[in-house]
Structure 1
Amino acid sequence: MSDPSGVAGDQLRAFVERIERLEEEKKVIADDIKDVYAEAKGNGFDVKILRKVVSLRKKQPHEREEEEAVLDLYLQALGMNGPAS
């Protein structure tokens, strides 16, 4: 039902409680991911590069190719790498 202000209190409370539970789950998952990166670092892996690999794997091949082409173009414009062969 609605309270005098027109807000369905029970429904609103249910939404807020669901969001709170999901936020807690998100925190637990974020902590788990942090632990995996720490474990990888402990085994000699470069975490910065590992994060980049994870990021690249989320993208479609054409997105990666386009991003790499633009990056190469920018680096060439700045004189930071040799001309394309």
Structure 2
Amino acid sequence: MVDTGGVAADQLRAFIERVERLEEEKKVIADDIKDVYAEAKGNGFDVKVMRKIVSMRKRKPHEREEEEAVMDLYLHALGMAGPSGDPE
């Protein structure tokens, strides 16, 4: 390992190269996700709603319930909730 001015150059290079490889993998995965959404859209699914569902499923149930309760409160305050409490 070469130590240049207190910096272990070989170790630094290895970290940089690992990050670069992971960034490339991330790009490939992002492209794959884009392709799945395009396929779903081609089969008649609403991609915007699908993205929202994916986002919701990442959160814990209690976090989701809390967000939904606040959303309901705000909708009521703005007069945007129907008689059943659902947005009109």
The TM tier, using the shorter chain, reads: over 0.9
Q: Which runs of 4+ in 1 moved over 2 A?
A: none
Gaps of 5+ in 1: none
Gaps of 5+ in 2: none
Matched, 1:33 2:45: no
Give the aligned residue type for 1:58. Answer: K
Percent identical:
80
Given the two structures, how large is their TM-score scaled by the length of structure 2? 0.89
Structure 1 stretch 29-38 or stretch 53-62: which is displaced more? 53-62
Give the Cα separation in 1 of the matches to 2:81 and 2:48: 22
Give the Cα separation in 1 of the matches to 2:46 and 2:7: 51
The residue that corresponds to 1:48 in the other structure is 48
RMSD: 1.1
Flag the structure with higher strand content.
Answer: 2
Given the two structures, how large is their TM-score scaled by the length of structure 1? 0.92
How many residues are treated as equivalent by the alignment? 83
The residue that corresponds to 1:8 in the other structure is 8
